[in-house]
C-alpha cells in the first residue's frame, strides 16, 4: 500500500513522495513516486518514478526550502507521467440508479445520445 512519507510545498505548488510496494524477491528494495500538484492541489502536474538512492537523498534533506528545491530539480530532470483520475464510478449501473442515488452523468449522456431525435424546423425534440 502506498504511503506518503514526505511533503514539500511553496506557494500553490506541492510535492508528495510516496513509497511504492514491490513484489518480494525482485531485487528492487525501496522505490518511490514523486507527485506534483499546482494551484493548491487543483491541477495535477503528474508523477515520476524515483529510485531508492534519490528517494533516500530526498528523505535526508532538512529544511523546507532546500527540500522543495531538490524536489523541483528532480521532477524537472525526468519526463512526468500523466496523473490518471481514478475517482469516477465504473461498472454497470445498478437497480438503485436514479432512485437512491442520482443518475451518473456518463450514463445520462450516453442514454441521451442513443435516443433518436426528430427535428422539425428549428425545434429539436427527443421522441
List the one residue out of 43, 44, 25 whose CA is nearest residue 33.
44
Residue-level pLDDT at 120:
41
Burial of 107 (0-12, 13-18, 19+ CB in 10 A): middle
Say what the pTM is: 0.61
Cell numbers describing residue 42: 487543483
Q: For 39-96, how does the pLDDT look when each residue is reduced to its tens digit (9 = 90+)? A: 888 888 889 998 888 888 888 988 889 999 999 999 999 998 887 666 665 566 666 6
Confidence band, pLDDT 50/70/90 cuts, at residue 22:
low
Amino acid at each position: 500500500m502506498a504511503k506518503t512519507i514526505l511533503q514539500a510545498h511553496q506557494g500553490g505548488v506541492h510535492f508528495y513522495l510516496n513509497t511504492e510496494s514491490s513484489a518480494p524477491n525482485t531485487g528492487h528494495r525501496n522505490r518511490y513516486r514523486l507527485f506534483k500538484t499546482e494551484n493548491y492541489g487543483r491541477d495535477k502536474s503528474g508523477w515520476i518514478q524515483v529510485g531508492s538512492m534519490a528517494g533516500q537523498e530526498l528523505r535526508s534533506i532538512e529544511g523546507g526550502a532546500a527540500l522543495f528545491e531538490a524536489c523541483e530539480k528532480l521532477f524537472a530532470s525526468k519526463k512526468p507521467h500523466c496523473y490518471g483520475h481514478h475517482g469516477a464510478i465504473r461498472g454497470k449501473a445498478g437497480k438503485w440508479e436514479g432512485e437512491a442515488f442520482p443518475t451518473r452523468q456518463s450514463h445520462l449522456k450516453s442514454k441521451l445520445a442513443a435516443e433518436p431525435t426528430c427535428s422539425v424546423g428549428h425545434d429539436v425534440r427527443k421522441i
